[in-house]
């Protein structure tokens, strides 16, 4: 029978307390991470006239160009396909940017990590908040397309997107925190993440519909694809549909498992983050 020595038990308790205080304390300091996220957006578009709407314009041009071609390739009605594509793209952009930017979460702030004592989780909250701000700007693309092509989609069903968006953001925080630690410790992870994002964009139902693979072995790219589930809970309500219950169950399970794994890793390696940076 093995026993845990008093110093080891004390060290474990201290690490658990520090990790918990970091996550909870960082969340409560919403003025800090809210300000950081907002300033990051402003700094990106400093000395521009329309600020973050430049990214929205670029996304709109891309969506319309791909939508015009895609509607012909997949024999879709442009009035149905463009709303589908635009709603999927704005959610995909938010999720993919959270994943990509998580790789630099602790790398870019190395000077701050070494000289200032603060909750590391605040950086993850700020990253997700920043991308939520950009998401609201990109939402204008969807609104304009709907106004022009399918105004009947403006109905109360769209409000169901809010709990889905909340689930996406909850997952976004642990993804940012976990990705930040992995990329800080193992610098080879970042190019792997960037490659994976390019592949995920193609195998996730963004340009094509999930029904395209129904009844085939390739349907695994839909059923077991977490990115699809994260998109579905927001996109479906924007298209006047109720998301699949399986998407909510999948994301709730992903949230629980993702946070559990991230908490264990964060608790163990949190003291080393400033040394790795």
User: Model confidence over 8-35: pLDDT tens digits?
Assistant: 554 556 667 888 899 999 899 899 899 9
| Cα(67)–Cα(86) distance, integer angstroms | 8
pLDDT at 75: 80
pLDDT at 193: 94
Mean predicted confidence (pLDDT) in 93-121: 84
CA distances from 227 to 19, 69, 74, 200, 221 (A): 28, 24, 22, 8, 10
SS3 107: coil
Residue with tokens 């963004």: 206
pLDDT at 1: 46
For the cut 90, the answer to whether the pLDDT of residue 234 exceeds it is yes
The CA dihedral of 217, 219, 220, 221, to the nearest 10 degrees, is 130
Greater model confidence, 158 or 218: 158
For the cut 90, the answer to whether the pLDDT of residue 164 exceeds it is yes
For the cut 70, the answer to whether the pLDDT of residue 2 exceeds it is no
Highest mean pLDDT among 101-105, 147-151, 170-174: 170-174
Question: How confident is the prediction for the chain on average, in pLDDT?
Answer: 87
pLDDT at 130: 94
Q: Where are the domains of the chain?
A: 52-276
Q: Which two tokens stand for residue 36?
A: 């950081």
Helix ranges (H only) for the chain are 6-28, 30-44, 53-73, 78-102, 110-115, 121-149, 161-185, 189-203, 220-223, 226-238, 245-269, 273-276
The closest of 256, 196, 257 to 227, measured between CA atoms, is: 196
pLDDT at 273: 84
């Amino acid at each position: 029978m093995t026993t845990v020595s008093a110093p080891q038990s004390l060290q474990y308790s201290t690490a658990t307390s520090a990790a918990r205080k970091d996550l909870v304390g960082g969340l409560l300091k919403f003025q800090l991470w809210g300000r950081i996220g907002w300033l990051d957006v402003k700094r990106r578009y400093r000395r521009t006239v329309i600020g973050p709407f430049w990214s929205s314009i670029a996304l709109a041009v891309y969506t319309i160009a791909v939508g015009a071609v895609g509607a012909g390739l997949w024999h879709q009605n442009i009035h149905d396909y463009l709303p589908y594509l635009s709603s999927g793209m704005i959610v995909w952009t938010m999720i993919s940017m959270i994943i990509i930017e998580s790789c630099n979460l602790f790398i870019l702030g190395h000077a701050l990590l070494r000289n200032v004592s603060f909750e590391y989780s605040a950086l993850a909250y700020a990253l997700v908040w920043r991308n939520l701000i950009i998401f609201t700007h990109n939402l204008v693309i969807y609104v304009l397309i709907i106004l022009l092509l399918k105004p009947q989609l403006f109905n109360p069903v769209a409000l169901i997107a809010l709990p889905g968006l909340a689930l996406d953001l909850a997952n976004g925080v642990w993804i940012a925190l976990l990705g930040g630690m992995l990329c800080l410790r193992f610098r080879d992870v970042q190019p792997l993440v960037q490659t994976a994002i390019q592949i995920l964009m193609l195998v996730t139902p963004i340009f094509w519909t999930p029904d395209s693979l129904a009844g085939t072995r390739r349907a695994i790219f839909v059923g077991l694809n977490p990115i699809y589930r994260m998109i579905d809970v927001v996109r479906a309500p924007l298209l006047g549909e109720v998301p699949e219950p399986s998407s909510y169950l999948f994301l709730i399970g992903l949230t629980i498992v993702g946070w559990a794994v991230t908490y264990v890793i964060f608790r163990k390696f949190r003291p080393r983050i400033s040394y790795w940076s």
